[in-house]
């Protein structure tokens, strides 16, 4: 299991610096390190890149999410393009909240940057 505080300190980062690098608040980093909250899929890719660990090392439950994401990706016609871009099938219409959940799962699974995930136009 990954110890976020140890990894952060090994990188020479304060909680505030880490929070800024991954786009959250220092209080959130404190809650993760104290075990008060789990790191959400939204922040996991950036956190794992900055601190240098595999997402599944911190969140073993993502193994199930990975299987689910693979199935969902096929069902929704999600394709990955070079450069980490993901696209939903153009003829598919899904609710916005479901699309956001899919994007978070794609970020967690593929490490894609949310700005590179595009919904159909």
What is the pTM (predicted TM-score) of this model?
A: 0.56
Give residue 119's pLDDT band: very low, low, confident or very high (50, 70, 90): very low
Tell me the pLDDT tens digit for each residue of 58-109.
877 766 666 666 666 666 666 655 555 556 665 556 666 676 677 676 666 6
* Ordered domains of the chain (ranges, CATH): 4-54 (1.10.260.40), 62-118 (no CATH)
**Dihedral of CA 106/110/115/117: which sign?**
negative
pLDDT higher at 50 or 97: 50
- CA-to-CA dists, residue 36 to 4, 32, 71, angstroms: 13, 6, 31
- CA-to-CA dists, residue 61 to 17, 31, 38, 54, 120, angstroms: 27, 19, 11, 13, 29
């Amino acid at each position: 299991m990954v110890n976020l505080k140890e990894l952060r300190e090994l990188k020479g980062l304060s909680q505030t610096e880490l929070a800024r690098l991954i786009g959250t608040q220092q209080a959130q980093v404190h809650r993760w390190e104290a075990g008060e909250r789990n790191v959400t899929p939204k922040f996991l890719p950036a956190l794992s890149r900055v601190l240098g660990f595999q997402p599944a090392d911190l969140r073993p439950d993502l193994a199930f999410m990975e299987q689910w994401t693979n199935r969902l990706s096929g069902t929704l016609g999600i394709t990955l393009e070079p450069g980490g871009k993901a696209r939903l099938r153009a003829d598919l219409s899904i609710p916005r909240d479901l699309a956001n959940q899919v994007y978070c799962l794609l970020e967690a699974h593929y490490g894609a940057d949310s700005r590179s995930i595009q919904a159909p136009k």
